[in-house]
Chains A and B, each alone.
Chain A
Amino acid sequence: MIFFNDEKSKKLLNLLKQSKQDFRFDPANLKAQLIQDISARRQTVFHPVRMRIWHTFEYGVALAAMVIFVSATFVFAGNSQPGDRLFPISKLSEKVILSLPLTAAQKARVQTQIVTKRLKALNDIDNSGNTKILETVRESDESLSNAIETVSVKRDDFQAAGNTKAAEPLNEVLGQLENLASEHEQRVEIIRQKMEDKDVQNEIDGHLQQIKHAKRKAMQELRHEEQQNNDSQD
């Protein structure tokens, strides 16, 4: 991660902090209406039984993930994709698996599988509504950025510690992620061109730029590695 240590960047950060100000707002006016409305509405009642069921479900997911880890096979909960009702559960199981005590190489492979899943979701959304399309594109961007950032940082840590044996499989994963980033980029570009809504197009364009940035980062990391290998052989 490049940190903004130059003068212009420091000036920009100061500007942002200094520009903080209040807008004219009469809270009393809104409050009266709000209190009237909440008096007419009941809260969602807290159900201890439902909480226990949720906790049991979470523990069940964690236990299932442990079983999966022991058998060294990574299978993700369900086929839910971004925009589906059950997608949050699928994402939760991915997080649980990544939080297990896996090696860096195993985690990197899990993240690559997640990125591959998101690419499949991108390929499957042809006739979906705008909300689902945006969520799928956003998840695609996030999965790539997270994977490339995490794997790069871990690989750099290993290299800094002189552990080239541990760093090597992460280089392979970075190569795979670079290829996946190209596929994501192509697919998101096609999706963006099909959108008629300009706002949706602009939002997709934002994610597309981030995907391109992630791909460039993977390429730079690999090129840097190649350069270092060439230098050490000379």
Chain B
Amino acid sequence: MPLTEADIQKLVKQAQQQDAEAFGRIYDQFARPLYNFLFSKLGHKEVTEDLVHTVFLKAWQNLGSYHPRQSAKFSTWLYQIANYTLIDHWRTRKPSVELTAVENLSQFAEDPKFYEEYEYLWIALSELPLPYQTVLDLRFKQDMSVTETAQIMGKSEIGIRVLQHRALKALKDKLKERL
């Protein structure tokens, strides 16, 4: 059952007192969405698991410097760590899966048939620059607001609107015959 933001903040306070069990519950809440966010760009199960592990480890180590704000949920902070971890990985290593072999992602989908229906969309997305993929994922798949997306990507709200506009245009250009 999903936790409310108030519940999550309680767990964070406990985890900040070195309560590993509380941190484990935070992990239960956010591991899957973070995995989906990272896997859609990496395309490799083991690499994604490594990065999810890295994200939560960084979160644990830096929990002391996390301060709740009215304008941002805890998940925003976690996604920020995930985004920067992804960017660092993307820069230092080549993508684990050839972009043209994205159709292999269907074997990793919970529902392969559902995936196959949208394969052409996934292929087009994977051909976009990473910031475009990220903004579209956060805004339309993770249902983040412009404010949350701006905080996660370290940009201004205007910057996110501009980036989103460009990303959608680029995706639309790739899919014009399909739409």
Contacts and interface: CB of A to CB of B under 8 A. Distances in A.
Contacts of B171: 12
Given A17-B141, A213-B166, A31 B175 contact: no
Most buried by B among A9, A23, A33, A142: A23
A149 B165 CA distance: 12
A130 B91 contact: yes
B82 interface: no
Contacts of B110: 21-24
A2 interface: yes
A101 interface: no
A8 B177 CA distance: 10
A25 B62 contact: no
A41 interface: yes
A88 B79 CA distance: 20
A31 B27 contact: yes
Contact of A21 (B57, B62, B115, B175): B115
Interface string B47-79: 001001100110011111100000000000000
A159 interface: no
A23 B108 contact: yes
Determine chain A's interface SS by DSSP, over half rule.
helix
B162 to A, nearest CB: 5
A146 interface: yes
Contact of B130 (A41, A131, A203, A213): A203
A210 B166 contact: yes
Interface residues of A, number: 50
Contacts of A23: 35-36, 39-40, 105, 108-110
Contacts of B172: 4, 8-9, 12
B95 to A, nearest CB: 8
Contact of A202 (B121, B129, B136): B129
A30 B57 contact: no
A11 B168 CA distance: 12
A44 interface: yes
Contacts of A31: 24, 27-28, 31
A145 B162 contact: yes
B84 interface: no
Contacts of B94: 199
Contacts of A15: 118, 121
Contacts of A24: 45, 108-110
A207 B53 CA distance: 30
B168 A146 contact: no
B146 to A, nearest CB: 12
B107 to A, nearest CB: 8
Interface in B135-157: 136, 140-141, 155-156
Interface in A1-22: 1-2, 4, 8-9, 11-13, 15-22
Contact of A149 (B39, B109, B158, B176): B158
Interface of A: 1-2, 4, 8-9, 11-13, 15-25, 27, 30-31, 33-35, 37-39, 41-46, 130-131, 134, 142, 145-146, 149-150, 199-200, 202-203, 206, 209-210, 213
Given A12-B171, A16-B136, A145-B159, 14 more contacts: A12-B175, A19-B141, A21-B115, A30-B49, A31-B31, A44-B62, A44-B64, A142-B155, A142-B156, A146-B156, A146-B162, A149-B158, A202-B129, A210-B166
Which are the 4 A-B pairs with shortest beta-carbon distances? Answer: A206-B129, A16-B140, A46-B64, A19-B118
9 contacts: A8-B179, A17-B140, A19-B121, A19-B122, A25-B35, A27-B31, A35-B20, A38-B20, A43-B16
